[in-house]
C-alpha cells in the first residue's frame, strides 16, 4: 500500500508556495530601500533556519531516545518522526549557505550612506574586534575559523546520527522481528 497525494492537494500546495513566493518578491521590492533591509533579511532567515532545524533536531533526539531505551510503543509514529528528522539534511544545507553569506559580508555588516547600522554577528568584522576589548578577550573562540570548524563538526555529527538511525530502521524492515535489538556489542 502506497500513499498517493491527490491532484487537488498538489494544486493547493503549489498554490500556497506560489502565494508565498509572490509575497516575498513583493516584500523585497517594497522594502529594498529601507535602511535595515539587509539586516532584517539575514536575521529572519537565521531565525527561520534555526527554528525548523531545531524541530528536526528534536525529532532526531526522540529517535535516539527510542533506540537507547529500546522502546516498542513508538513504532506506530516512528516513520513520522523519521520524516521530520530528515529535515536535518536540508536544514544543514540552508544554514551553511546562510553562514557562508554572513561570513563573506563580515557578519551581515550593514552600512547606509557611510553610517554603520549593525551586524548579525559583529565578531566577524575585524574592525569591531579591534576596538572591542570584550570580544578581543574571547578572540580564540570568536573567529571565523573556529566558528566554521565547530559548525561543520556539529552538522556532521547530526547527519551521521540521522543516517545511522535511518539505516537501522530500514534494516529492521528487512529483517523483521526483534533480532536486531538483541545483538551483543
User: Is the separation of the CB atoms in 168 and 180 below 8 Å?
Assistant: yes
Residue 180 has pLDDT above 60, yes or no: yes
In this structure, the number of other CB atoms found within 10 A of the CB of residue 87 comes to 18
3-class SS string, 108-156 = CCEEECCEEEECCCHHHCHHHHHHCHHHHHCCCCCCHHHHHHHHHHHHH
Q: What are the tens digits of pLDDT across the range 137-155?
A: 887 888 888 989 999 999 9
What is the predicted pLDDT for the residue at 68? 87
- pLDDT mean over 65-85: 88
Q: Grid coordinates standing for 94?
A: 540552508
Asked whether residue 184 carries a pLDDT value surpassing 60, the answer given is no
Give the tens place of pLDDT for each residue, 36-72: 777 888 888 899 999 999 999 999 999 999 888 878 7
- Average pLDDT (129-137) is 82
Q: Looking at per-residue confidence, does 116 or 75 come out higher?
A: 75
pLDDT at position 136, please? 80
Q: How far apart are CA 163 and CA 115, in angstroms?
A: 47
Residue of 162 and 2 predicted with greater confidence: 162
Q: Which of 101, 93, 106 is nearest to 152 (CA)?
A: 93
The answer to whether residue 110 scores a pLDDT higher than 90 is no
**pLDDT range class, residue 160, cuts 50, 70, 90:** very high
**Looking at residue 1, what is its pLDDT?**
66
Amino acid at each position: 500500500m502506497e500513499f498517493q497525494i491527490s491532484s487537488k492537494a498538489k494544486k493547493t500546495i503549489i498554490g500556497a508556495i506560489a502565494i508565498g513566493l509572490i509575497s516575498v518578491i513583493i516584500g523585497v521590492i517594497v522594502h529594498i530601500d529601507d535602511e535595515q533591509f539587509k539586516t532584517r533579511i539575514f536575521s529572519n532567515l537565521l531565525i527561520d533556519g534555526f527554528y525548523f532545524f531545531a524541530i528536526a533536531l528534536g525529532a532526531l533526539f526522540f529517535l535516539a531516545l527510542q533506540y537507547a531505551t529500546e522502546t516498542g510503543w513508538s513504532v506506530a509514529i516512528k516513520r513520522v518522526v523519521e520524516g521530520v528528522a530528515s529535515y536535518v539534511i536540508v536544514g544543514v544545507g540552508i544554514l551553511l549557505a546562510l553562514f557562508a553569506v554572513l561570513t563573506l559580508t563580515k557578519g551581515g555588516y550593514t552600512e547606509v550612506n557611510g553610517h554603520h547600522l549593525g551586524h548579525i554577528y559583529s565578531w566577524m568584522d575585524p574592525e569591531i574586534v579591534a576596538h572591542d576589548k570584550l570580544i578581543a578577550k574571547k578572540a580564540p573562540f570568536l573567529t571565523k575559523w573556529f566558528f566554521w570548524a565547530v559548525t561543520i563538526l556539529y552538522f556532521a555529527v547530526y547527519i551521521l546520527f540521522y543516517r545511522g538511525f535511518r539505516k537501522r530502521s530500514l534494516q529492521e524492515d528487512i529483517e523483521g522481528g526483534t533480532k536486531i535489538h538483541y545483538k551483543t556489542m
